[in-house]
A and B are shown apart, each in its own frame.
Chain A
């Protein structure tokens, strides 16, 4: 029997599900190997159990955490799909600002107070904290990046269907960038997160003329202190360095920096 696969989205841009739909060349082949039983962005059906559940998005409210726990209980494998699910992504930057302040900046004081005290709809507004999926339930596999890399998604699906162990890059983005023979970002007067960031993206941003902002998260063995010193030596101030590490919140995901302190 074909494995039952489901896709679920939480707080995200839904770009990773779109990246899956964008595998046009092999989409029909994939659909021959698996039964997609739930994919709200593309279909209406729902199912009670899943062999593989793909989770996109970060978890921002208790009602979302409850939904995630229910999906986990109904799934054999659970995959965190994309930077929001894996590390919280850009919106985790709001964790350094109190929720009340975040609401005030977006809705104003009066409207914030009105909606958060609404007797019927208050759960919608009960934002707790931007959390990665693994902070709430066990995660079996991670597809990193903002957005995910389609080749890695296909690799994982093939492995899960054939019972093989999926393998993902353990190199830094910097290594993949060298293999592309790109001119170093530092030599162009910019700074880069490529030395300490998990590879697998083939350094696509640098190859297209930008820099690495660490959307795939920091390698577990990365020498963060040395990298911090490098950014200092390039003239970045402490607030600039903090802003840099918090752009995709990659450093926070390691639990080594940024767990305390808040933005002004």
Chain B
């Protein structure tokens, strides 16, 4: 078959090494791409419906269950939205503890994604498991870093998955300072491991495909925005407040995807590590900036495969930033705070950056203090439109130079590069030729 007569259907059912269930459908006829679809086939769980009737305290606790891998982010975004609805202001101590809890999940999630989900593609392995034999030091180092990040979350939140310590107004049980000190010491000692990560990523061959797009993230005047800020667009070069998030996401429904799609100033926008690094590069920790330079990440960067590199940059940023925050807590100590609150009526908005991008939550409560309206817009549902646009742009470029197997792999790698977390809202490989 000659390259210009390629006619096939690629149907990747339940893409692996992503969280949640997604299919990729590509039809080409005589070398012309007829259709590209990213189908999100995840079953509905209706969080925005069944949260009605819950108390303000129950909401962040329950909606954390939207996603196991970003449970901290969902809990924090919901906590902020509920506090906004309930007229609650929190102390600087609570903000600091929440930033630490959030960054612990960035470390855990990014390490998991870079090492366990993305690296196997680049070294041609079907999973991390064969790497245990071929690259034992890489795997052991990855496990050490992941465990350290998980222990950090546990010390801060009480548990790694669905932590219970954070609530409205503050902490139910404050982190144990002795255990925090141990984590601080281990994190400080892990810096060589982190730099090794950079070394491995430098050897990976990143596909060189670019498509200019709009990047959306939080932006904060004083810091690299992960926990708070306004919603910034790289197109308009301006921000809107979190309460105006619906003017950002403009959600719409397509039949081939159970998650809703988003668009702002153009047909699609991207969120996540690459969007944040592009929008807020100057505010990264100096060590993270130098890692970006080492890895060839120059902003603005329009290559979505570079999202994995941006994740490594953020691992370094979060490690150094966390060490500084731990120092503050260990030096200043922690005060018990009154977290008592009586439920009231109101509507509120919250947003945080989670590893996969900006996450919005909104809740309203009735006169009895019971939830009567809920909305959550997750990063992956904002990214799916952009991923499909990338696929539509890249398939015609890849088609003449790749076999069907290579093309399929590059589509899967593209999807995985976004680190999609589809369960928040879709499993194996089936390739059908239409010869």
Do A and B assemble together? Answer: yes
With known contacts A13-B71, A44-B429, A208-B173, A101–B49 Cβ distance under 8 A = yes
B193 sits at the interface (CB 8 A): no
Which residues from chain B contact A14 at a C-beta distance below 8 Å?
A: 19-20, 67-69, 423
Are A91 and B129 in contact (CB-based, < 8 A)?
no
Are A102 and B44 in contact (CB-based, < 8 A)?
yes
Are B116 and A42 in contact (CB-based, < 8 A)?
yes
Which residues from chain B contact A121 at a C-beta distance below 8 Å?
A: 39, 255-256
Are B50 and A90 in contact (CB-based, < 8 A)?
yes
CA distance A46 to B12 in the complex (A): 13
Shortest CB distance A95–B (Å): 9
With known contacts A42-B127, A43-B16, A90–B44 Cβ distance under 8 A = no
Tell me how many residue pairs across A and B have CB atoms closer than 8 Å.
Answer: 196
Contact of A146 among B58, B65, B171 (CB under 8 A): B65
With known contacts A16-B68, A94-B49, A208–B43 Cβ distance under 8 A = no
Contact of A21 among B41, B116, B253, B428 (CB under 8 A): B116
Contact of B147 among A25, A46, A111 (CB under 8 A): A25
Shortest CB distance A196–B (Å): 19
CA distance A148 to B116 in the complex (A): 21
Binds B, one of A112-120, A135-143, A155-163, A168-176: A112-120
CA distance A9 to B55 in the complex (A): 30
B146 sits at the interface (CB 8 A): yes
Name the residue on A nearest B74 (C-beta): A13
Are B49 and A22 in contact (CB-based, < 8 A)?
no
Are A91 and B20 in contact (CB-based, < 8 A)?
no
CA distance A104 to B222 in the complex (A): 41
Shortest CB distance B176–A (Å): 11
Chain A proximity mask over B42-71: 1 for CB below 8 Å, otherwise 0: 111111111011110010011001111101
Shortest CB distance A251–B (Å): 15
A103 sits at the interface (CB 8 A): yes
Which residues from chain A contact B160 at a C-beta distance below 8 Å?
A: 19, 22
Name the residue on B nearest A108 (C-beta): B253
Q: Interface majority SS on B: helix, strand, loop or mixed? A: loop
B164 sits at the interface (CB 8 A): yes
With known contacts A24-B147, A43-B126, A209-B173, A103–B44 Cβ distance under 8 A = yes
Name the residue on A nearest B67 (C-beta): A13
Which residues from chain B contact A114 at a C-beta distance below 8 Å?
A: 253, 255
B276 sits at the interface (CB 8 A): no
CA distance A208 to B162 in the complex (A): 12
Are B150 and A24 in contact (CB-based, < 8 A)?
yes
With known contacts A25-B147, A31-B132, A40-B17, A147–B258 Cβ distance under 8 A = no
Name the residue on A nearest B252 (C-beta): A111
Contact of A13 among B58, B68, B129, B139 (CB under 8 A): B68
Which residues from chain B contact A10 at a C-beta distance below 8 Å?
A: 43
A39 sits at the interface (CB 8 A): yes
Are B45 and A239 in contact (CB-based, < 8 A)?
no
Are A106 and B46 in contact (CB-based, < 8 A)?
yes
Are A247 and B48 in contact (CB-based, < 8 A)?
no
Which residues from chain B contact A12 at a C-beta distance below 8 Å?
A: 68, 423
Name the residue on A nearest B18 (C-beta): A41
With known contacts A106-B44, A209-B164, A204–B116 Cβ distance under 8 A = no
Are B65 and A60 in contact (CB-based, < 8 A)?
no
Which residues from chain A contact B150 at a C-beta distance below 8 Å?
A: 22, 24
Are A15 and B162 in contact (CB-based, < 8 A)?
yes
Which residues from chain A contact B42 at a C-beta distance below 8 Å?
A: 11
Q: List 13 A-B contacts (CB under 8 A).
A: A15-B162, A24-B146, A24-B150, A41-B16, A90-B65, A107-B253, A111-B252, A121-B256, A124-B258, A127-B44, A146-B162, A204-B164, A208-B173
Q: Hey, which bits of chain B sit against chain A, CB under 8 A?
A: 14, 16-21, 39, 41-50, 52-55, 58, 61-62, 65-69, 71, 112, 116-117, 120, 126-129, 132, 139-140, 143-144, 146-147, 150, 158-165, 167, 171-173, 252-253, 255-256, 258, 260, 423-424, 427-429
Q: Which 4 A-B pairs have the closest CB atoms?
A: A15-B68, A43-B127, A209-B172, A208-B158
